[in-house]
Amino acid sequence: MDRRGFLSQAGVALGAYAVAGPALPQAADAAADMTSRLGALPAGHFRARAKRVIFVQMSGGLSQVDTFDYKPILERMHGQEMPPSVRNTQRLSDMVKGQTSYPIVKPLRPFRQHGESGAWVSGLLPYTAQIADDLCFVKSMSNPQVNHHPASLALHTGFQLAGRPSAGAWVSYGLGSDNSSLPSHITLVSPVVGGAQTVDPDVWGAGFLPSHFEGVRFRAGADPVLYVNSPEGINPADRRRELDIIQRLSIEQYEQSGDPEILSRIAQYEMAYRMQSSVPEVVNIDDEPKHVLDMYGLDVHTPGTFARNCLLARRLLERDVKYINLIQKGWDAHFSIATGHPKDCKLVDQPSAALVADLKQRGLLEDTLIVWATEFGRNAFAQGALDPGVGRDHNIGAFTIWLAGAGIKAGTSYGETDEFSYNVVKDPVSINDLHATMLHLLGIDHERFTYRHLGRDYRLTDVSGKVVHGILS
């Protein structure tokens, strides 16, 4: 029986529970379990290497030529003109396509090789350099979207327009949840430093999937999830009675309409009730040893920072949350890249390395997939004049990400770019390929994993995508 058929028949049973009266709380639990815990593919298509995913985005466009993709020619040709034969091979944004000169800019910091793998890592990222042998660098990523919003949508949903389910929603829909007290799909967004960059909630949205598969955003402060806590003067018993009445009416409505969103609503009410106790426990880091806190850096003591969110991500993974988005805003550097990238790297370098090391020492890395990505890269040539200041515009032809954990071939680099890190020249990897590989590690065949909407079967990888076996162990 497929998922929708099961839920449809289950609605009859819920109606019977509602008539029974005293059994209504059990009916609510049953609804929550059916709509949240059970997945469309609870066993997957084949044996999974990964049980959970953390998808980290450096939102705004990390410069690969200043971090992971070392190109010596940029040092030798600093200030010289980017060859038109290279520059004219891809689409430029409106911010630079009218320039009269395109001088090459050398990396912001020197590169050095690290670990037994000999990975080239910029001096901007000394902590990441220390875990280079745990990482797989994919240097041949590309994204046809030159602007942030469609590029980020494509990175998370596989499509450049809003309305498609996010990867986290797809995973939750397919595999369900292993924790009945926390959402299976959670988003943590760290603030931008000195800017107003926004992140569209569509990147963790459910699209046309049932709404309870949407990611739940955890915020900094006393109330990580808005409106979960009861108003002052409402005790748990009162709240329970209120929910029972709402659910009784909802079940009656479902029996009349058959609308599956009603079951989603019941599940969301129940999850919110359970989160009143589970969320305060998971965000309270008082039980963390000092040496663990020190791993993540001083910012771990400040709620909302990337360091604190990395630690919270580990705590959520320990509690079997299936999919976590960890988004750091602020990488939209243009004319400020010379000052902005060093500050941003300092914010994320130590916590990112600590997250990998912490999961590894707890035995969680072997069945957790970490994807550390950005929506596109940056150009080797300057945006505007070389001086004063240094600017780099968007580069959609090539960028670098890294992966670690379950099923990933550690201590390797995959793919190559040309000598200016402008275009991919070997082993190209699309975002659809990345999603196909991620689903493969979770035990899902991306071509067989679909959802029918408006008469068409949709999938996360749209109409393309292939598993990148070259990065798998």
Cβ–Cβ under 8 Å, residues 424 and 142: yes
Task: Please tell me the predicted confidence (pLDDT) of residue 19.
Answer: 36
In 3D space, the residue among 434, 426, 350 whose CA is nearest the CA of residue 55 turns out to be: 434
51-220+303-471 fold: Alkaline Phosphatase, subunit A (3.40.720)
Task: Please tell me the predicted confidence (pLDDT) of residue 162.
Answer: 92
Task: Please tell me the predicted confidence (pLDDT) of residue 275.
Answer: 66
Task: Please tell me the predicted confidence (pLDDT) of residue 2.
Answer: 52
DSSP 3-state assignment of 310? Answer: helix
Could you give the count of Cα atoms lying within 13 Å of 267 in the half-sphere of its Cβ?
27
Phi, psi angle pair for 369, to nearest 5°? -100, 125
Q: Which two tokens stand for residue 259?
A: 């609308």
Task: Please tell me the predicted confidence (pLDDT) of residue 112.
Answer: 97
381-423 pLDDT tens trace: 999 877 656 789 999 999 999 999 999 999 999 999 999 999 9
- Extents of the domains making up the chain: 51-220+303-471
3-class SS string, the chain: CCHHHHHHHHHHHHHHHHHHCCCHHHHHHHHHHHHHHCCCCCCCCCCCCCCEEEEEEECCCCCHHHCCCCCHHHHHCCCCECCHHHHCCCCCCCCCCCCCCCEECCCCCCEEEECCCCEEEECCCHHHHHCHHHCEEEEEECCCCCCHHHHHHHHHHCCCCCCCCCHHHHHHHHHCCCCCCCCCEEEEEECCCCCCCCCCHHHHCCCCCCHHHCCEEECCCCCCCCCCCCCCCCCHHHHHHHHHHHHHHHHHHHHHHCCHHHHHHHHHHHHHHHHHHHHHHHHCCCCCCHHHHHHHCHHHHCCCCHHHHHHHHHHHHHCCCCEEEEEECCCCCCCEHHHHHHHHHHHHHHHHHHHHHHHHHCCCHHHEEEEEECCCEECCECCCCCCCCECCCEECCCEEEEEEECCECCCEEECEECCCCCCEEECCECHHHHHHHHHHHCCCCCCCCCEEECCEEECCCCCCCCCCHHHEC
Taking the C-alpha atoms of residue 317 and residue 116, their distance in angstroms, rounded to an integer, is 29
Please give the torsion angle defined by the CA atoms of residues 266, 267, 269 and 270, in that order, rounded to the nearest 10 degrees. Answer: 120
Q: Which two tokens stand for residue 396?
A: 């959609």
Task: Please tell me the predicted confidence (pLDDT) of residue 193.
Answer: 60
Cβ–Cβ under 8 Å, residues 446 and 436: yes
Taking the C-alpha atoms of residue 143 and residue 394, their distance in angstroms, rounded to an integer, is 11
**What angle do the packed helices 24-32 and 3-20 form, to 10 degrees?**
170
Task: Please tell me the predicted confidence (pLDDT) of residue 219.
Answer: 86
pLDDT, averaged per 10 consecutive residues of the chain (473 residues), comes to: 47 38 46 58 91 96 97 95 92 84 94 97 98 98 94 96 96 90 92 69 94 89 73 74 79 79 73 71 92 97 95 96 95 88 96 98 97 96 77 94 97 98 97 98 97 95 96 97
Q: Give the single-character DSSP code of 390.
A: B
